[in-house]
Amino acid sequence: MLLSAHSEALHAARTSAEFAAVISALDTDLNAAIARKAELEKAEDKAIFGDGDLAEVRARLGDCNSEIALYEKAIELADVRRIEAAKNEDAVDVEALGKDAKAKAADLSKRWKKVYGLIEQARAELFECDALRRSLIATDGEFEKAKRPDLRINLTTLRREATAGPRSSIPARLSRPAIQADTLLLSFLSLGGPLDNRAGIRAQTNGVTSNADFRHQQASD
């Protein structure tokens, strides 16, 4: 059988890549058969003028034409299967993409819940920090009255030392809303930020609702 060398691969092929490999092998044999046909046609021309057995040459030429037709048919059918397999693979890829999207959405939801929890935790800590700061301010007043300034607590130094340390680097591809949120969070740790207790900071920020507005106001001045 002319296709016996390819029958196992033809029966086993399932993916578009496997069908493409079978088609390539069939195409190689087809080209070889076409080359033989050209040689047999030359032999037929010679046999017509008595140089060779014309019947034998024509029999071989007929077999070659049958072989070529069979290879062409096999390639055509294999290509149909290849196209069908490629479509199925694309559908599988979309399904895999959908599963990946759902997994990422679940992870994003989990992280947003974590962000929410951390923000609520930070708010509670800020409330406690504010209560302790106000208590220490009142205590400082008592130390002033008792003429014991050596017992006063420098709240600005305390806060700056407590919030000093390395900062996480910003990812290369961070969205604008994320950059704005990060800038806002860092403002709470920065000099001149909402929590900075430098002398005169209350007067400077009077009526200013945000750190960004405060910096804009400074630039305008």
In a shared domain, residues 57 and 146? no
Domain boundary at 99, 121, 154, which?
99
SS3 assignment, position 147: coil
User: Is 212 among the domain residues?
Assistant: no
How far apart (Å, rounded) are the C-alpha atoms in residues 204 and 216?
12
- Tens digits of pLDDT across the chain (221 residues): 456 778 888 888 889 999 999 999 999 999 999 999 999 999 998 888 888 888 998 999 999 999 999 999 999 999 999 999 998 888 878 888 899 999 999 999 999 999 999 999 999 999 999 999 999 999 999 999 999 989 999 888 888 888 888 888 888 888 999 999 988 888 888 877 887 765 444 444 444 444 444 444 444 44
Question: Do 134 and 185 sit in the same domain of this protein?
Answer: yes
Domain end: 66, 82, 99, which one?
99
pLDDT at 220: 47
Say yes or no: 76 and 110 in one domain.
Answer: no
The residue whose two tokens read 């072989």 is 67
Cα–Cα distance, 159 to 156 (Å, whole number): 5
Q: How many domains does the chain have?
A: 2
pLDDT at 204: 40
DSSP SS3 for 192: coil
pLDDT at 6: 80
Q: Please indicate, yes or no, whether residues 25 and 55 belong to a single structural domain of this protein.
A: yes
9 plus 75 within the same structural domain:
yes
| Whether residue 11 sits in one domain with residue 39 | yes
**Is residue 221 in a domain?**
no
Residue written as token pair 């008592």: 142
Does 119 lie in the same domain as 94? Answer: no
User: CA-CA distances (angstroms) from residue 105 to 100, 149, 220?
Assistant: 9, 57, 43
- Of 217, 214, 220, nearest to 190 (Cα)? 214
Those residues with Cβ within 8 angstroms of residue 214's Cβ, 6 or more apart along the chain or in another chain? 192, 204, 205, 208
Which amino acid does the sequence have at 99?
A: K
Structural domain containing residue 167: 105-205
Six token digits for residue 14 = 């399932």
Q: Two tokens at 121?
A: 């935790």
CB 25, CB 6: distance < 8 Å? yes
CA dihedral 172, 174, 175, 179 (to 10 degrees): -120
Q: Would the pTM of this model clear 0.75, i.e. be above it?
A: no
Alpha-carbon span 190 to 214, nearest angstrom:
13
Q: Looking at the structure, do residues 92 and 113 belong to the same domain, yes or no?
A: no
Q: What is each CA distance from 127 to 132, 138, 209, 217, in whole angstroms?
A: 9, 17, 18, 27
The answer on 119 and 75 residing in a single domain is: no
